[in-house]
Amino acid sequence: MLDVTLGLGGHALAFAEQIGAGGSLTGLDADPQNLASARERLSMIRTVTCLHANFRDLAALSLPQFDVIFADLGLSSPHLDDPLRGFSFRTDAPLDLRFDSTAGVSAAQWLQTVDSEDLTQVLRAFGELPHPHQLALLLKEQLPQTTFALVRTVEQVLHWRAKSFLPQVFQALRIAVNDELGALDHLLSSGPSLLKEGGRMGVISYHSLEDRRVKQVFRTITTAPKNLETGQDLHPAPFILLTRKAMLPTAEEVRGNPRARSAKLRAIRRAKLQS
């Protein structure tokens, strides 16, 4: 199986228990710190390969086909729990927001290069924020270098409402800095082709921007192409949709992990070739 968001290896460990000694596990993670922790946690597994890579590079990794491909999108807990990574507005830290701190530019550096119109679009589309243009102009003027400086800028625009919108501000900048939606598009384009016959692919998303993309691609590739004149199926769809509606966490799961409250799981299976 392939876990393209290895994190600390929690999901991978659960998968490893199911696939047993005869199976093999490959894990990717863009964060080298996560990867080191996961590699140690999974060291008891006989056949495991951990790669420092973003799933946007899936097509270039020359990987074999898999029985299971799994993705758990967005932040991992260490990103929020480590105050120095700049993902949380509750502690002061450099405004970084990168999953891979060894590549790309930090959020603070990105703000210096992006123009106000593009920044407005990021805040509007990725954060669904009120007054995105006003906030973009002030961000370009003040160029915050730390998380608390960013908070103060947001407070100047949104005043008493700032606290409720801060998660969306950080989300918008994080998505832009890591090009998360572009990476997801690459995953949804390359991932299904890496499934064996009967193999399954599951994706957990946490906000509508991600879930909408997963839903649309999965619906497209599990729908048989039609004859435009007759409306009849030209041939069976190459994939089968396993989740008519997204699977949601149970109340018990949310109590155990409040961060899972917005999670949605969608899955497909590669159809077997007809003889």
pLDDT tens digits for 94-128? Answer: 999 998 888 889 999 999 999 999 999 999 999 99
Q: What is the CA radius of gyration of the chain?
A: 20
pLDDT score, position 264:
96
How far apart (Å, rounded) are the C-alpha atoms in residues 129 and 158?
10
Confidence band of 13 (pLDDT split at 50, 70, 90) = confident
The per-residue pLDDT for 48 is 86
Distance (Å, whole) CA 51 – CA 223: 33
The one-letter amino acid code at 100 reads D
Task: Report pLDDT digits (tens) over 160-195.
Answer: 999 999 999 999 999 999 999 999 999 999 999 999
What pLDDT does residue 227 have? Answer: 80
**Ramachandran angles phi, psi of 50, nearest 5°:** -110, 125
Confidence of residue 275 (pLDDT cuts 50, 70, 90): low
Question: CB count, 10 Å around CB of 184?
Answer: 24
| pLDDT tens for each residue of 119-153 | 999 999 999 999 999 999 999 999 999 999 999 99
CA distances 121 to 96, 110, 130, 272, Å, are: 20, 14, 12, 43
Give the tens place of pLDDT for each residue, 75-88: 776 677 677 778 88
Position 236 scores a pLDDT of 87
Spell out the domains of the chain, with CATH numbers in brackets: 2-77+181-270 (3.40.50.150), 89-178 (1.10.150.170)
pTM confidence score? 0.91
Supply the pLDDT for residue 8: 83
- Report the range out of 1-15, 174-188, 228-242, 253-267 with the highest average pLDDT: 174-188
Task: Please tell me the predicted confidence (pLDDT) of residue 46.
Answer: 73
pLDDT in tens, 201-237: 999 999 999 999 999 999 999 998 888 878 788 888 9
**Contact of 129 with 169, CB cutoff 8 Å:** yes
